[in-house]
Structure formats: structure tokens, C-alpha cells
Chains A and B, each alone.
Chain A
Amino acid sequence: MRRDWAFAGLLRPLALAIAMLLAPGLTFAQTTATVQGTVTDAGTGAPVAEVSVSISGLLQATTDALGRYRLAGVQAGDVSLRVRRLGYRGQSIAVTLSVGQVLTRDIQIASSAISLDEVVITGTAGDERRKAQAATVADIAVSNLMEVAPIRSVQQILQSRVAGVSMLSASGTSGSSNQIRVRGVSSISLSNEPLLYVDGVRVATGGGTAFFTGGQAYERLHDIDPDDIESIELVKGPAAATLYGADASTGVIQIITKRGRVGSSQFVQNLSLDYNTIERNFEPVTNYARCTAAHVAAANNLLCFGKPVNTLVSDNPLLRDGAFRSGNTLGFGWTGRGGGTNYGYYTSLNREEEDGVLPNNAFERSGGRVNFNWLPRPNLTLDASIGMNRTRTDLPDNDNNIFGWLGNSHLGLPTTRTVDSTGQNGWFGTQRDVAAMKLIENQRQTHRNINTITANWSPLSWFSNRFIAGADWLREEDRKFLPKNARGSYSINVGQINESRRGIERYTLDYLGNMRHNLRPNLASNFSFGTQLLQTRVENVFATGEGLTVNSNNVVTAASLRSGGQGVALERSIGLISQLQLGLNDRLFAQFGARFDNASSFGSEATWVFLPKLGVTWTASEEPFWKFGAVNTMRLRAAWGTTGRIPGAGSSLTTLASAPYLEGAIIRPGAVPQNPGNKSLKFERGQEVEAGFDAGFLDDRIGLEVTYFNKVSKDLILARPLAPSLGFTQNPFVNIGEVVNNGLEFTVTAMPVNTQNVSWDVRVGGSTLHNEVTDMGDSTRGNLIAPFGTLNRIEEGLQVGAWVTNRILSIDEATGVVTVTADRKFIGNTLPTFEAFFANTVTLFRNFRFYASLDTKRGHLVRNFTDFFRETQLVRSNNRLDTLKLSRRERLRRYGNPTAGQPAFIAYRGDTVGNPTIAKTVNDVQEAYLQSGDFVKLRELSATYTLPPGLASKMRARAASLTLAGQNLVTWTDYEGYDPEVVSNAGAAFNRDDFFTQPPTRRWVVRVNLTY
């Protein structure tokens, strides 16, 4: 394949244009002045960091830890300082500057639970103030959050902070992936992970694994150091995401990294040191078995020898062998921030080392970032950033894996314990004890560069342009090594080495122009237009070797048998954007937008996609008539927009897969049917309407944001299940069906107390979710898709992937007959229908901060497949073996009729007694193991002490703080497994199986922050 770069031809004219723009900038400093000062909290008097002080949008400074700002290079004359910070009321302050003057202007800002003047970058064009946006874009002030919460990853930032954003830890394994769902599940066959942008550049998400681990996957979000993040903005659905095109219906996450401080003439350094201890947070179950005559006669049988036949014996291999350890994290971060007259810079270095609670689980990250922002002219800014890092993740085998820690231990037979420790000795596998499991390596090393260049140019007062070019370069080295051993001749015992090298290049080229014009004195218009090009190229090569001479010589070439392979994928998409925004009296705003998209994935019969959007917002409280006492802010908003979801390139083609054949002893290239294709395949269309209001009460000390959303995915892309007899290995994508997600989101932000010595911030949020498959085609149109899925069902009228099983109708304890439904019936949801969080920050005497957050998920079921397997398949549980442990009724419910020769469960055809009966097995009737996943979790608890300046200065620091924190401290749940917050198959779209999955860990954190 030709390794061309699609945007190469654009580079030369772009460079020329930049050079021309910069040339006149030499006289920049000759007619300017400087403004500087300190920003303090009007309530507490404390300095406020991270406040944006700007002039004309482009010239901007940010306050340091002591609240200081400095804006140099300001054009002399009458100027307006715009002061903004999340959580504070925006201000505009008029100042007059003479040439060469250095004006000191201290500013007090009042905290506010609601702020309509803040700027929203993501998904907006034209007037980017929040008050002008018809759809909600959530934001998280990460730098603030980091001051109180013990955060070490992007996932922890997103966990229970924003209504409608659902995070699910796949496991408690260090470095493994999480699932992020925004406003439910929009797609059935395509990814439901939101798109991720860093400073306007789309970057790769997910992670997966190149080789089998059993369930858990690597996570690319871990490549980003939270210390580098200024804020995160979340676009929740199509209503706000139209400008992100036909692939954004699952939402957009934009990470905005920290910037330098233009005009500050200071260099501020920050050092942070983290130490976590990590605890396993669960008690491994004990295995049981009954001794047979053979066991009691065997002198080498440790537990049964000499005991009566049928003795119940037990063993706990994980605890007996001391499998777990206390994990820990050591994190170090350094940032340097500063700037000169017309430039600013931010640099960082970070290093994190974490050992999980299992011996071969670890995570390491080393990285750095350089962000440089330059104002060569008052009407031009250039930002460039380079983020580099290297991560290494070691995942243990686990989950659906008999060589995994939990699978191997939880399926072990106590009756195999031996005096001389030979054989299985209580584990599932022969001599697969702790020492053997430790030696299995699953490792990924990642090298990543995320580079962005952004230019904002306003050649005319009414005309501005923004160019973004960026690249996400990612190289992943995956390795799985199963050492040679003496446990037999299985492939995994002779020494097996698997290596994969994957390169991902993702390029973004984005242009957005905006023309502002006052149609009338009170009617402003903003017309925006632009284009976005994306290209992603993924190439991987892999090799496997089997049969090693010695374990230390463990490269593929050392193996006696070797094989390899390659994969390549190239995807391109283009979007053309336009938007007209009208603002009346700076209170009533209307937006009309459209985007045209096309992508390499669509079929030859598909055409360009038209994505319209409409929205209106009205800040009623700014109207002269507004006199509602306690309600001092009220903004109403409604928006409708469309986006979609795009499948991978080539999804429309009819294909065969290469598959060799043997001609005698010679292997020759052959082919097998793969995918029947679909030439009319088009994108999945997501439409969303949202409406709500933002209200401020009691002088904006209480803020309330309420949003109703109704998101409809049409032309759903389904991998249409084919009858296996057709012989295709893949199911073709077809555009059939509809999924609806709707619900209500609310966030309450309040500052009940805000005095010099005591302040208390409360943030409560929640969301409901109704998810339903509403259409699966129509037999009259010949495109009906029958319900599919055995336990997780795709069926009209049910939630996506809803749990179904044969339901128990009656239990006759006298006869043991358990009657169930003839067909599988709905039993519960996989997606929570209600989620909420409750976070409190209390500050005492400016120096002590206490933070606590609780969250809950409700209305869904988790399949406790671990218990199911240990009770009904490979029986190791005393629930089954100790006949007195469960009631007879519960035993019948779980295991069915124990009478020999009788089916475990029976059903009557048509559920009508008297009709012929149908025998059902425990596999059909899993009601007892589909358990409520409801929980309430004390997620975080922290205490931070900020040293008084005098004490800090003794350490030669400007500021210093110490934080002690805990995470995942308490879980309240009725779930019978370890933790309902797990997914044994991290890549599953909507499955919630708990199958030998390590639950989330508990952490204790110490963090020291020093600012110089």
C-alpha cells in the first residue's frame, strides 16, 4: 500500500500563509501596555487560581496559585478585561491604558453556582459563550478537582461527575479498561464509546488486546496524564455534536490541556508526589468437594485420606498460597508554567509506577508535554503542543480463562490437594499454582505522541478563522509469553511467545471560519463555516512462536514453530460545516447548522449525508420584566441535532477471506466466503432533541440544571445475523431498526456556606435512562430481523441487550418439580436506569479541605456467572454441596428437580398446563444468577491541608498542600458476587457478566503538592 499522507499537499500553502501573517508582527510591542493584578474570592478573600483574564478573546492570561495574572502587549486605550472561571460569575472590567503603562488592577470575583458567560469550546462555533448555546455541553474543571480528589486517570475524572455520563469499571486490574457510555447505548453493532479529542484533534480510544487475556483489555486513555488537563468538556449527544459529524452520536469528550501564562513574566513550577496503597477489597471464595472412596484410600490425598467417604472438604488456593499482595502507586509530576510579553508555555514531566494486587499486574507511565502559545500579532495566536509518553501495562490472566487467577483458583478441587504438593493440588490446572501463574506475561508497551497546532486569526474585526492540524501517533507493542514448563505438551507448556506491533496514525485537519455582523443594533449574527478531514491508518504485524529451548531465549525466532500475520486498515472521512447563529439583545439566541459528511465506509450506492441542527436559547432572567426574587438566573434552551455512527472502511463490500488449503503436503493460498456485503450501506443516523433550563437561586448560590433528552438512532447498523448454513464467517451490516434513549438529567450545585473561614460546596447530579429497541425492520418491507441473542436479547420493546431467560412459574417443594416458561422472557436490564452522584467539599479556615463523593447505579442486573458456574457446571460451591446451606425452595430455584431421570425444569408448550412438556436445563433457567446490580458506593473521601504561606516558604515554596484520601471505601449492594461494578468481557457492547473477574480495589492515597 502506498504510504501517502492525504493532507501533504496542503502543507506548503499553509506554511506560506503563516509566514506572511507573522511578518508584520515585529512592531507588536511598540504601542502597548501591561495590566496585572491579583484575583481573589469575594466571599473568602482567598486568591483564586486558574482564572482566565482576557482582552478581545485572543490575549489571555491565567492566574497562578496565588491568584496573580499579568497581561502584557495590550493595545493602549480603552479596553475591557473579561474575567472568567468555572464556579464564578463572569465579569467585564473597563480599564484605560496608556502606552507603556503597567496598570495594577486587583479583581474580586464572586462564586456562583451557575455561570452563563463561560466559554464552551467543544461543539460550538461563533459565539462560544454558554448562554449562546442551545444544547448542553458539560465541563469538568480538572485542575480544581485535582486539588481535592485523589485522581490518577482520565477515567477517574469522568467517574460520577457529570449527569448522563456512565462509567463502568471493567475490573480492579491496574491499567485495564473501563466502559464509558453517554446517554445510554445508541448502537447495537458499532462502538458505543464516545469520540475523544485532545485540543481539537481526534485521537484513538479503546485499546483492546492483541492476545487473549480472558477478559480485561488495555486502555489508551491511560496514556494521558491527568496533571496535564485543564478541563474536560463533554458533548452528550447529537443535539450538541452535529459539528462533529456523522460519527458522533455516542458523544464527544474533549480534553483541554493546560496552557502557558502569556504576559506573566513568571516561571511557576509545581511538584506533586503521590503514593497509593492498593488493597484487593474482596475475600476470595472457598472451594468445596466431597471425598470419594478413592480419595480416602489415597495416602497422598491431603484432605481426604482416612476420612469417612463423602466428607465435605474445603480449600482456598488463593489465600493458602498468598496470591495477593498489597499494591502501590508511586507518582511524580512536575509542571512548569510561565510566559513572556506575547507568549506562554506549559511543560510537564510525569512518571507513575503502579503494582496491582496480583503479582503480574502493573502499570507504568512516563511522559511529558510542551504547550507553547504565541501571540505574534494582536489578531493572531498560534498554539503548538507536543505530548509524548510511554506506558507499560502488565495484565494478569483472569476472567473467562482457566489459567487466570480467579478461574484457576475458583474451579480448583479441594480433593486434589496432595501431601507432596504434586498434581493440581487444589488448583484447576495441573501444577498451575501461584508460581506458575506469576510467570505468564501479558504486556503492552505504548509509545504515543499527540501533536497539535492551532492558529486563530482575526484579519478583520468581524472575521475570524481557526485552523487546527494534529496528529495522534501511536505505537503499541503487545506480548504474551507462556513459559516452557514440565506440565505436559499442550501448546502453552512448550513455551509460547506471541508478539504484535501495531501502529496507529490519526490525522485531523480542521478549519472553522466565522463572520460576525450586527444586522441591527440589537440583532447580532454569526455565520460559521468550515471543513474537517480525518484519516486513520492502522497497521499491525504479529508473530507467534511455539517450542522454546530455554525460557530466557524467548523471542519468536528462537521457537521451533513460527507463524505471523498482518492487518491494515485505512479510513477517511470528510465533513463540511456551516452554522448561522442569531442573537437578539444578547439574550435570545437561535442556531441553524448543517454538516455534510462522507466516509470511506459507506457503500457505492450511498451518497453524502446531510446533518442539520436547530436550537434556541433564551436567558429570560436578563429581560427587564424578570422580577422573581429568589430566582435570579433563568435560561431556557432547546436543541435538535443529528449525527450518526460510521462503520469501518470496506464494510459494504462482498468479501472472501484468505484461507489456505493443502494440496498434498503443500500449503496453497485459498479463500472462503466471508461477508455478503451491502452496497447500499449508509451511516447510522442519530437524532436528538433536548430541552431544559439553567436556573440560579439565591444570588446564584444554588444552581440547577435540568435537561430532558430524547435520542433516536435510526437506520441502525446491525450485523444482521445470518443463518450459519449460508457459510459466511461474518454477518453483513444492514441499516435496519431504531433505538431510543431518553431521560432526564439534573445537576444541583450549591454553596450553602461561603465565608472567610468556612465554605461548603455541594454538587448533586443524576440521570434517568429509558433505552429501548423500537424497530427491527418490517416483514412487509422484507427487512425484518428476528430477535436475536440468547441471554442478552435484541428485541423490539426491550432495552438493548436486555436479560432474558426461561422464567420460573412455580416450584413444587413436595415433588421437586419446577415449572418454567416455554420461551425466554425478559427479566431485567443491562443498563442502569438511574444513576446519581453526590459530592461535597468543605473548606475550613482556607487551609483544610474535606471532600467526599458517593454515587449509585440502579435498575439493572448483573449475571453472577461465577456462582452459576461453580454451582451448576463445575460444582465447587458449598451452596450446592452443603445441602443444608440453602433452603429447599432456593435449591430448586437454582438447580431444578434433583430426582434422577427427571428433567431439571419443565415447561408446557404455550405455557398451558396439560400441553406436552419440554425439558429445560440450568442453562435455560438462570433467574437465580441474574442479580440486582444496584449499588451505592462511597467512591472518594479526602482531606487536604494547605500549608500557610509562611510555612510553605520555609520549604522555599510558594504553596504547599498535603492530601490524604481513600477510594472505593464502602459498597452497599445486594449483589451476591464480589462487586456489581465489573464486566468480565471488557470489550462487550452491553453484556454485564461477572465471571471470575477481579473486583475494583480500594486505595489509600497520600499526595504532596508543592508550588515554586
Chain B
Amino acid sequence: MRNLKRLVSTVAAAGALSLVGCDRWLTVPDPTVIDADVLDPVADAPTLALSAQQNFASAYGHLIVYSSWFVGETDVSETFPTRNEYGRRSVAIQNGSHDADVWFPLSQAASSAYLVLDAVLPTPAANINYARANLFLAFSYVLMAEQFCSGTVRAGPELTTAAMLDSAVAHFGLAISRGTGAAGPGLALADAARVGLARAELQAGRLPQAIAAANSVPAGFNFNLTFTDDLAQRFRLANRMWFYVRDRGSIAVAPIWRTSDPRVPWLVTTAFAPQDAAYASDRGIPYAIQQKYPDYSSPVRLASKLEADYIVAEATGTAAQLTLIGARRIAAGRPAYTGPTDANSVLTEFFTQKGFDFYLEGKRMGDFRRYPNNIIGVPVPGSTYWKPGFAPVGSDTCYPFPIREIDNNPNL
């Protein structure tokens, strides 16, 4: 019995020692992730800010493609029912592509910008990381306001279109001040913010503010988002429009844009096939790919003096619009505008020229929200969808929240 007791106490002591020593043994490294605790908000702010910019660039490509289907810049030349819902202007809240390709990337762009803005950084008034984060957060708000019926960020309460545009205006303002303060590359961020500010004010209907902001953009200004062809990072770093041509055969240039206008280059080719092999027979025309972005590394224009000019003209009125129409047609080698000059007709032609100038740049849905009757090529509600087997075109003018946001955002 004494042996038994000795044995039991030895085992108990060994067990106790094991308990103490094991915690260390159980702490294992995980080199596949970045532990948030090891990030330094100050030292790593440039990384986080530029990452937020890239998140926006990636989201922007998705938004351009999906909105191009919705407003008829392109045809859905693939079979996925979820993407055809965009072509039919009838986006269901259960649409998985809507969640994964449209809502989430835009949300990630916004929330990752907030990661930078939440950090306490030195010299805030001249901090370029703040400028960058504010700029892309503001553009996220603008796109959310233009494309979604209502919005939310970071699982917050539902935002009206006006509230989203107000947020955009506030953050564009901060981007201008911080970028100007930072100087150097901050100046380009500030000018891009001026274009964005004008765009937000225009969408909000505050025309004088829009004109003022647009006029402050320097002549010849262009702000591009850059992309590259890296096999491992095509989903994140490549031009999305080219990805949807080459890798998926998803976007065909819509018939109405297949003109000889050089601003919308397109090509009928057998080198690339539509994912929906029945495209040509169903649509009644050959498959044509866009050539504005002819490879994975084609840059995408985000903000420009040209856009500022369009904003000024739209906000100023018919005469200014006619002037710009004439200038743009000449620049494109097109004959002068000879159509009716009533305000409505001019506005339609104005948005058509803008459509050529900014084809596949994600601006047309905002235009459609402001002037739905002056945007050509948008699928008509109730009309038969050109692809057999689908319900008629719906009447959506904006996107709903995906069901995952509705189900899991406690503030909605």
C-alpha cells in the first residue's frame, strides 16, 4: 500500500509539473498570418494606407464590370445566373456574386481605410497616409452612394444616399487638406479628391459646390489606378476588365457601343470566346471584346480634369453641355452634333459623349441615377432579356444589400 501511495504521489507531481510547463509547449507560431498585435500602427501606416488603396483599386474593377452590365455598357456573355441578374436589372439579395464581387470588396476598401484613420499618426494635418486613406474612403462612399440603394460601413446603421454623399464630401475635404499639407505625392491625392468632391456634390445635387470643386482641378490632371500582370495576384492586382475578357469571357461590348468612335475600342475575334457559347446566336451579333483595357496591366482612370469639365458642364446647363459635346466630338474625330438642341436632347447627347469618354470607368450608374431618362442603352424594364430562359428585365435602379449584410449587421 505504501508503494501504491508513493506511486500515486509521484504521478500527481509529474502531472502538476506537466500542467505548468505545457503552456509554453502549446504556444506555437503561425507564420501564415499577420498577428494584429505585431503591427505598429505608426510605422506600418504607409503599408496599411497603400493596402487600402489597392483594396479600392480591386473593388473598383468589380464595380465597373458589374455596373457596366446593369447600365448596358456591356452584355453578360457568361452563363452564371447571378451575373445575368445585373444584365436584367434584377439583383436579388441572395445573389452570391453581388455579395462576393461587389459589396464585400467595396466594404473591405472602406474598412481598411478606416484602419489607418483609426490610428493616431504624427503630424496629422500633413500626413500622407491620412490623405490616402481619406481619399479612397471617400471614393468608396461615392461609389456606394451611386450604385447601392442604401449603404453601411463597418456594420453601422443604414445610410441614405444623401448620408453617404455627405460622408464622401467630408473625407474628400480631409484628403485635400492632408494631401496638400503633405505635399509631394500628396498633391496628386488632393487633386483626385477635388474631382471626387465635385462628383459627390454633383450626385448630391449641390451644383455650385460641384462647380467650385471641379474648377479647382488643375488642367490636364489625370489620376490612374495602376495594375499589373502577376500570375499569383491576378484577382487583386490585375485589370479586372481584361480579367473578365480573358479569363472568363464574361463581358461583350454591347451593340449600342459598337461604333467607330475610337474612345470605345472593340474587336470581333475568335481568339477569345464568350463563356456563354450561345452568345452570338442568342444576341444575333458576333462576340466583341473591349479593347480599352487590352491587358492585365492596363491602368484605369479614377479622376481627371476631363471628368471635372463634364461636372462643370452638367451643373452649368445646356449651353455649357453643348460646348463640351462639340469639343469632345472633335477630339474624338467625330462629326459635329447636329441633333436637337432642346435641354433634354442635349442632355442625352451629353451623357452619350460622356459614356464614350468614360466607357468602362464606372461613372455611368451615377449618371443614370441622376438622369435615368437620358442614358442610352440601359436595359428597359419589362422588356425581354436577350438571352432565352431568363425572366424579363427588371426595374432596379440601384443595388440592394446582400442578404449576408442584412442578416448579420445588428444595426440594420
* Residues of A participating in the B interface, judged by any CB pair closer than 8 Å: 1, 6, 292, 294-295, 402, 411, 413, 415-416, 423-424, 428-430, 463, 487-491, 513, 515, 517, 527, 529, 531, 544-546, 561-574, 576, 596, 598-600, 608, 649-650, 653-665, 667-675, 677, 721-729, 786-788, 790, 872-875, 900-901, 903-904, 921, 923-924
Q: Would B33 and A596 count as touching, CB distance under 8 A? A: no
Q: Would A727 and B36 count as touching, CB distance under 8 A? A: no
B residues 7-59 with Cβ under 8 Å of A? Answer: 7-8, 11, 15, 18-19, 22-23, 25-37, 39, 44, 47-48, 50-51, 53-55, 57
In the complex, which of the residues A415, A570, A574, A790 contacts B94, with contact meaning CB atoms closer than 8 Å?
A790
B residues 63-83 with Cβ under 8 Å of A? Answer: 79, 81
In the assembled complex, the Cα of A872 lies from the Cα of B81 at a distance in Å of 10
In the complex, which of the residues A411, A574, A672 contacts B51, with contact meaning CB atoms closer than 8 Å?
A672
Question: Within the complex, what minimum Cβ distance (angstroms) separates B145 from chain A?
Answer: 14
Question: Within the complex, what minimum Cβ distance (angstroms) separates B5 from chain A?
Answer: 11
For chains A and B in complex, what number of residue pairs have CB atoms within 8 angstroms? 241
Q: Would A875 and B389 count as touching, CB distance under 8 A? A: yes
Q: Would B22 and A574 count as touching, CB distance under 8 A? A: yes
Which partner residue on chain B sits nearest A546 by CB separation? B231
Question: Within the complex, what minimum Cβ distance (angstroms) separates A847 from chain B?
Answer: 56
Q: A667-B230, A727-B154 are in contact. Are A489 and B272 (CB under 8 A)?
A: yes
Q: Would A665 and B50 count as touching, CB distance under 8 A? A: no
In the complex, which of the residues B8, B226, B232, B270 contacts A665, with contact meaning CB atoms closer than 8 Å?
B226
In the assembled complex, the Cα of A568 lies from the Cα of B231 at a distance in Å of 22
Encoded as 1 (CB less than 8 Å from any A CB) or 0, chain B from 240 to 263 comes to 000000111100000000000000
- B237 cross-chain contacts in A, Cβ below 8 A: 660, 662, 667
* B110 on the A face (CB < 8 A): yes
In the assembled complex, the Cα of A574 lies from the Cα of B27 at a distance in Å of 12
Segment of B189-197, B308-316, B400-408 engaged in the interface with chain A: B400-408
Encoded as 1 (CB less than 8 Å from any A CB) or 0, chain B from 218 to 233 comes to 0000000011111111
- B247 cross-chain contacts in A, Cβ below 8 A: 490-491
In the complex, which of the residues A415, A571, A649, A673 contacts B112, with contact meaning CB atoms closer than 8 Å?
A673
Q: Would B391 and A723 count as touching, CB distance under 8 A? A: no
- A544 cross-chain contacts in B, Cβ below 8 A: 231-232
In the assembled complex, the Cα of A608 lies from the Cα of B26 at a distance in Å of 11
Interface residues on B, range: 35 or more
In the complex, which of the residues B25, B33, B270, B277 contacts A416, with contact meaning CB atoms closer than 8 Å?
B277
In the assembled complex, the Cα of A729 lies from the Cα of B37 at a distance in Å of 18
- A562 cross-chain contacts in B, Cβ below 8 A: 231
Q: Would B281 and A531 count as touching, CB distance under 8 A? A: no
- A564 cross-chain contacts in B, Cβ below 8 A: 232
Q: A572-B26, A656-B36, A901-B382 are in contact. Are A725 and B281 (CB under 8 A)?
A: no
In the assembled complex, the Cα of A136 lies from the Cα of B31 at a distance in Å of 42
In the assembled complex, the Cα of A687 lies from the Cα of B224 at a distance in Å of 59
Which partner residue on chain B sits nearest A650 by CB separation? B30
Which partner residue on chain B sits nearest A571 by CB separation? B28
Q: Would B391 and A874 count as touching, CB distance under 8 A? A: no
In the assembled complex, the Cα of A921 lies from the Cα of B390 at a distance in Å of 10
In the assembled complex, the Cα of A572 lies from the Cα of B25 at a distance in Å of 8
In the complex, which of the residues B29, B81, B232, B248 contacts A923, with contact meaning CB atoms closer than 8 Å?
B81
- A786 cross-chain contacts in B, Cβ below 8 A: 407-408
In the assembled complex, the Cα of A900 lies from the Cα of B388 at a distance in Å of 13
Q: Would A724 and B232 count as touching, CB distance under 8 A? A: no
* B104 on the A face (CB < 8 A): yes
* B108 on the A face (CB < 8 A): yes
In the assembled complex, the Cα of A671 lies from the Cα of B275 at a distance in Å of 33
- A729 cross-chain contacts in B, Cβ below 8 A: 108
- A874 cross-chain contacts in B, Cβ below 8 A: 79, 389
Q: Would B277 and A430 count as touching, CB distance under 8 A? A: yes
B residues 274-314 with Cβ under 8 Å of A? Answer: 275, 277-278, 281, 284, 297
Q: Would B271 and A488 count as touching, CB distance under 8 A? A: yes
From A424, A576, A904, name the one whose CB has the most chain B CB atoms within 10 angstroms.
Answer: A576
Q: Would A723 and B404 count as touching, CB distance under 8 A? A: yes
Question: Within the complex, what minimum Cβ distance (angstroms) separates B130 from chain A?
Answer: 17
* B134 on the A face (CB < 8 A): no
- B104 cross-chain contacts in A, Cβ below 8 A: 724, 727
Show 16 A/B contacts (Cβ-Cβ < 8 Å), sorted by A: A413-B278, A487-B273, A490-B273, A563-B230, A570-B28, A600-B28, A653-B35, A655-B34, A667-B233, A671-B48, A674-B34, A786-B408, A900-B384, A900-B392, A901-B382, A901-B392
- A572 cross-chain contacts in B, Cβ below 8 A: 25-26, 28
In the assembled complex, the Cα of A43 lies from the Cα of B320 at a distance in Å of 108
- A608 cross-chain contacts in B, Cβ below 8 A: 19
Q: A544-B231, A723-B409, A786-B407 are in contact. Are A663 and B26 (CB under 8 A)?
A: no
Question: Within the complex, what minimum Cβ distance (angstroms) separates B206 from chain A?
Answer: 26
- A664 cross-chain contacts in B, Cβ below 8 A: 226
Question: Within the complex, what minimum Cβ distance (angstroms) separates A254 from chain B?
Answer: 25
Q: Would B405 and A725 count as touching, CB distance under 8 A? A: yes
Q: A544-B232, A568-B31, A724-B104 are in contact. Are A529 and B11 (CB under 8 A)?
A: yes
In the assembled complex, the Cα of A723 lies from the Cα of B405 at a distance in Å of 5
Question: Within the complex, what minimum Cβ distance (angstroms) separates B400 from chain A?
Answer: 13
Q: Would B26 and A517 count as touching, CB distance under 8 A? A: no
In the complex, which of the residues A649, A657, A658, A723 contacts B408, with contact meaning CB atoms closer than 8 Å?
A723
* Nearest 3 interchain pairs by C-beta: A727-B111, A563-B232, A670-B51
Q: A546-B231, A670-B54 are in contact. Are A677 and B272 (CB under 8 A)?
A: no
Contacts A544-B231, A725-B103 known; 15 new A-B pairs at CB < 8 A = A489-B272, A569-B32, A572-B25, A600-B27, A653-B36, A662-B227, A664-B226, A665-B228, A665-B297, A673-B108, A722-B408, A723-B410, A725-B107, A727-B107, A900-B392
In the complex, which of the residues B8, B26, B99, B271 contacts A600, with contact meaning CB atoms closer than 8 Å?
B26
- A600 cross-chain contacts in B, Cβ below 8 A: 26-28
In the assembled complex, the Cα of A11 lies from the Cα of B338 at a distance in Å of 92
* B236 on the A face (CB < 8 A): yes
In the assembled complex, the Cα of A84 lies from the Cα of B228 at a distance in Å of 71
Which partner residue on chain B sits nearest A545 by CB separation? B231
Q: A569-B32, A786-B408, A788-B408 are in contact. Are A673 and B232 (CB under 8 A)?
A: no
Q: Would A565 and B107 count as touching, CB distance under 8 A? A: no
- B33 cross-chain contacts in A, Cβ below 8 A: 650, 653, 655-657, 674-675
- A923 cross-chain contacts in B, Cβ below 8 A: 81, 92, 94
Q: Would A677 and B391 count as touching, CB distance under 8 A? A: no
- B35 cross-chain contacts in A, Cβ below 8 A: 653-655
- B249 cross-chain contacts in A, Cβ below 8 A: 490
- B331 cross-chain contacts in A, Cβ below 8 A: none
Question: Within the complex, what minimum Cβ distance (angstroms) separates B280 from chain A?
Answer: 9
In the assembled complex, the Cα of A627 lies from the Cα of B109 at a distance in Å of 78
Q: Would A565 and B232 count as touching, CB distance under 8 A? A: yes
- A921 cross-chain contacts in B, Cβ below 8 A: 92, 391
Question: Within the complex, what minimum Cβ distance (angstroms) separates A647 from chain B?
Answer: 12
- B7 cross-chain contacts in A, Cβ below 8 A: 463, 515
Q: A574-B26, A725-B152, A923-B81 are in contact. Are A656 and B34 (CB under 8 A)?
A: yes
Q: A658-B34, A786-B408 are in contact. Are A727 and B236 (CB under 8 A)?
A: no
In the assembled complex, the Cα of A515 lies from the Cα of B153 at a distance in Å of 63
From B15, B34, B270, name the one whose CB has the most chain A CB atoms within 10 angstroms.
Answer: B34
In the assembled complex, the Cα of A573 lies from the Cα of B26 at a distance in Å of 7
Q: Would A660 and B15 count as touching, CB distance under 8 A? A: no
B residues 343-382 with Cβ under 8 Å of A? Answer: 382
Which partner residue on chain B sits nearest A415 by CB separation? B281
Which partner residue on chain B sits nearest A496 by CB separation? B231
From B27, B270, B278, name the one whose CB has the most chain A CB atoms within 10 angstroms.
Answer: B278
Question: Within the complex, what minimum Cβ distance (angstroms) separates A564 from chain B?
Answer: 7
- B231 cross-chain contacts in A, Cβ below 8 A: 544-546, 561-563
In the assembled complex, the Cα of A924 lies from the Cα of B92 at a distance in Å of 10
Question: Within the complex, what minimum Cβ distance (angstroms) separates A323 from chain B?
Answer: 19
Question: Within the complex, what minimum Cβ distance (angstroms) separates A491 from chain B?
Answer: 6
Q: Would B39 and A488 count as touching, CB distance under 8 A? A: no
Q: A660-B236, A726-B107 are in contact. Are A1 and B54 (CB under 8 A)?
A: no
- A576 cross-chain contacts in B, Cβ below 8 A: 15, 18-19
